[in-house]
């Protein structure tokens, strides 16, 4: 039965949206409608971690966006996968559990966002978490989102950890604990070897609640306003137009690439842009779509002397059967991991007070993330700068909600980003040359010996740099001229409307973004209920 008015409409069932749907419907006192443009998450490759390689290109579960030609990338259009369907990007991501640095949140607070310092956000990280190591000062054991250890140690990862030790980089067994610096294995969002997306962790347990309605294949087109109050959403489902009303609030959780698009399509954004496309202005907010930030990954690939890489295991039918059996019997091995096993956080530039680069180590190599593995024994060190200063923009190209907006990251446009990219790749080369790594490195395949000096390394970055999938910041929280939401995530100058997803980050966190988004949504849900006079 179509119900035309609910208390809360949440747009987007991704990392943030599923958390909101669960928490806002938990008390049973409010009706919640969750609208998701994509399908249900009933494909096996979403749930087996290595399916990451398959969903990377699957248009059913992935928006498969491309940036505009980027001057910093020698005019290349960079592929930007992002999740579509229940769980959103948490259904197709690399499963790495990473919160960032304590200082990231101190920076948000120092920018004037009260309630977002490290001590303020830690309880929400803990609330969301079910860490298989148990509860501690930094970790939760009772939350919905599983963070599990990689049980099996890999010979190559062990060599990398020793090699980093040769460079003076300490081992760190908990990147989400007291400090991030160091090298070690990642914890993954898996539960007994299966992916633990927010759809699995948060939505599934809430699905039977009579006050929660979930609509998939429901593409939100515009926010409906009554003056400056958001009162509903118009969406399309199976070719039919619908309008639904929100008695309390409309909450956009469509991700950093689609929440700002939806705002612009609804008349909230830079006045000149909206005028160009004939969108009637509701609120001139120049920051909608500004402040776009992303982590650029630079992948160094090495040929390995020993046939111990995942490339080797996947090369034969027998090898594939063996890893399949290992997963079926023990829920272990490459199928349980996704791609990246371990990480490293260190300082590439002397002036940095905390790590300024992150490495993702994969015991596998391919021409690009998610592509067919090389036919040689290979492994990858992917380097990314943690706090880029380059800023991009996102702007609608038309009034068609189904046409992606123009996304221009302007990678490497800031001098410090260029310096860090070059310095970071040099750290990777030093690591590959460390005594503990020598028995494992046959040769550097990419960039390769022809790329030597700093200018050549920078050119390699421009020609090969790719996203590590963290576009953020396009509806930033704050109070300056480009801020879109306030510290309670309410859109400035409007009523009944919030944005709760990756787009509200004023500055990118120093690490992967899934856990931070989940934390943001946990905290936002509590604020929304508090503003409605409900304490759970
Ligand atoms: C390939 C990949 C690998 C990644 N790896 C990691 C990792 O290992 N660790 C990590 O921490 N982070 C990782 N990330 C990043 C992380 O997953 C995302 O930053 C995070 O999931 C973003 O959450 P979100 O809620 O902002 O958006 P999303 O999770 O993307 O959710 C947005 C949802 O809104 C829906 N939607 C969009 N527009 C509309 C509309 N108009 N109407 C209705 N619904 C709409 C989308 O379909 C989607 O389901 C990865 C991301 C990708 C894409």
- Confidence check: pLDDT of 2 > 70: no
Q: What is the DSSP string of 302-362?
A: EEESSS-SHHHHHHSHHHHHHHHHHHHHHS-SGGGT-SEEEEEEE-SSTT-SS--EEEEEE
Residue of 62, 88, 263, 338 best suited for mutating to test ligand 1, as the one with most atoms within 8 Å of CB: 88
In the predicted model, what is the mean pLDDT of residues 497-517? 98
Count CB neighbours of 173 within 10 A. 11
Residue nearest (by alpha carbon) to ligand 1 atom 27: 255
- CB atoms under 10 Å from CB of 506, counted, come to 22
Whether pLDDT at 3 is above 70? no
CA-closest candidate to residue 389, choices 294, 472, 468:
294
348 in contact with ligand 1, CB cutoff 6 A: no
For residue 47, indicate whether it is catalytic: no
CB 104 within 8 A of CB 121: no
Average pLDDT over the chain reads 96
Beta-carbon count within 10 A of 406 CB:
14
* pLDDT reading at 424 higher than 50: yes
What pLDDT is stored for residue 74 in this prediction? 98
Backbone CA torsion sign across 100, 104, 109, 112: negative
Q: Report pLDDT digits (tens) over 279-306.
A: 999 999 999 999 999 999 999 999 999 9
**Ligand 1 atom having least distance to the Cα of 501:** 26
Q: Is the CB of 253 under 6 A from ligand 1?
A: yes
> In terms of residues, how long is the chain?
536
Average pLDDT score over residue span 162-184: 98
Does residue 341's CB lie within 6 angstroms of at least one atom of ligand 1? no
Residue pair 496/222 in contact (Cβ under 8 Å)? The answer is no
- Of 184-188, 324-328, 478-482, the poorest mean pLDDT is in 324-328
Q: How far is the CA of 91 from the centre of ligand 1 (A)?
A: 8
Of 9, 14, 84, the residue with max ligand 1 atoms within 8 A of its CB, to mutate for a pocket test, comes to 14
Distance 534 CA to ligand 1 centre (A): 29
The confidence score (pLDDT) of residue 121 equals 98
Gap from CA of 256 to ligand 1 centroid (Å) = 8
Instruction: Render pLDDT for 50-77 as a digit per residue (tens, 0 to 9).
Output: 898 899 999 999 999 999 999 999 999 9
The structure tokens 């609608």 sit at 396
527's tokens: 């604020």
Residue 523 Cα, ligand 1 centroid: separation in angstroms? 18
Residue 91 has phi, psi (to 5 degrees) of: -90, -10
Tens digits of residue pLDDT in 383-419: 999 999 999 999 999 999 999 999 999 999 999 999 9
Structure tokens at 124: 């929400």
Rounded to an integer, what distance in angstroms lies between the CA atom of residue 176 and that of residue 239?
A: 45
What is the average per-residue pLDDT within 112-126? 98
Q: What is the pLDDT of residue 345?
A: 98
> What pLDDT does 535 receive?
59
Dihedral in degrees, nearest 10, Cα atoms 383, 386, 391, 392: 50
Mutational pocket test of ligand 1: of 9, 10, 11, 12, the residue with most ligand atoms within 8 Å of the beta carbon = 12
Does the pLDDT at position 536 exceed 60? Answer: no
Radius of gyration of the chain (CA): 22
The bridge status of strand 283-284 relative to strand 145-149 is unpaired
Share of the chain above pLDDT 90, in %: 91
Percent of the chain at pLDDT > 70 equals 99
Would you place residue 327 in the very low, low, confident or very high pLDDT band (cuts 50, 70, 90)? confident
Structure tokens of 438?
């020598």
**pLDDT, tens only, 364-382:** 999 987 788 999 999 999 9
Q: Which is catalytic among the residues 238, 242, 470, 492?
A: 470
Instruction: Give the tens place of pLDDT for each residue, 193-236.
Output: 999 999 999 999 999 999 999 999 999 999 999 999 999 999 99
Check pLDDT > 50 for residue 1.
no
């Amino acid at each position: 039965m179509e119900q035309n008015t609910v208390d809360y409409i949440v747009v987007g069932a991704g990392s943030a949206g599923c958390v909101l749907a669960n928490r806002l419907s938990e008390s049973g006192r409010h009706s919640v409608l969750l609208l998701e443009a994509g399908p249900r998450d009933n494909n096996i490759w979403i749930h087996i971690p290595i399916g990451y390689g398959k969903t990377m290109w699957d248009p059913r579960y992935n928006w498969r966006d491309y940036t505009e030609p980027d001057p910093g990338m020698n005019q290349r259009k960079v592929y930007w996968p992002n999740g579509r369907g229940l769980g959103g990007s948490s259904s197709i991501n690399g499963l790495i559990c990473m919160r960032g640095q304590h200082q990231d949140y101190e920076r948000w607070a120092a920018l004037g966002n009260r309630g977002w310092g490290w001590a303020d956000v830690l309880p929400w990280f803990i609330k969301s978490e079910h860490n298989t190591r148990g509860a501690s000062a930094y970790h939760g054991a009772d939350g919905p989102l599983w963070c599990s250890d990689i049980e099996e140690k890999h010979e190559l990862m062990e060599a990398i950890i020793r090699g980093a030790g040769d460079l003076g980089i300490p081992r760190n067994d908990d990147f989400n604990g007291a400090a991030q610096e160091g090298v070690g294995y990642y914890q993954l969002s898996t539960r007994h070897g299966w992916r633990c997306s927010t759809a699995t962790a948060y939505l599934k347990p809430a699905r039977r609640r009579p006050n929660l309605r979930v609509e998939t294949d429901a593409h939100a087109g515009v926010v409906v306003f009554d003056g400056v109050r958001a009162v509903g959403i118009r969406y399309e489902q199976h070719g039919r137009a619908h309008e639904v009303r929100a008695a309390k609030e409309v909450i956009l959780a469509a991700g950093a690439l689609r929440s700002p698009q939806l705002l612009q399509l609804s008349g909230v954004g830079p006045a000149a842009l909206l005028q160009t496309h004939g969108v009637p202005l509701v609120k001139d907010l120049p920051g909608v779509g500004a402040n776009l930030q992303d982590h650029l990954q630079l992948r160094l690939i090495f040929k390995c002397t020993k046939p111990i890489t995942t490339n080797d295991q996947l090369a034969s039918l027998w090898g594939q059967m063996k890893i399949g059996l290992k997963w079926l019997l023990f829920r272990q091995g490459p199928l349980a991991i996704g791609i990246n096993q371990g990480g490293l956080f260190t300082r590439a530039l002397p002036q940095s007070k905390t790590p300024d680069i992150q490495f993702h180590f994969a015991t596998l190599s391919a021409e690009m993330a998610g592509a067919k593995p090389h036919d040689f024994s290979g492994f990858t060190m992917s380097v990314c700068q943690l706090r880029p200063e380059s800023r991009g923009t996102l702007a609608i190209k038309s009034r068609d909600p189904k046409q992606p907006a123009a996304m221009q990251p302007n990678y490497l446009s800031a001098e410090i980003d260029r310096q860090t990219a070059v310095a970071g790749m040099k750290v990777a080369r030093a690591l590959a040359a460390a005594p503990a790594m020598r028995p494992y490195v046959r040769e550097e395949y990419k960039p390769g010996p022809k790329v030597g000096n700093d200018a050549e390394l920078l050119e390699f970055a421009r020609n090969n740099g790719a996203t590590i999938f963290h576009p953020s910041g396009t509806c930033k929280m704050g109070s300056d001229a480009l801020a879109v939401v306030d510290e309670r995530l309410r859109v400035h100058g409007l009523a009944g409307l919030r944005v709760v997803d990756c787009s509200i980050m004023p500055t990118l966190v120093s690490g992967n973004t899934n856990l931070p988004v989940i934390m943001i949504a946990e905290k936002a849900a509590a604020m929304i209920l508090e503003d409605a006079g409900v304490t759970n």
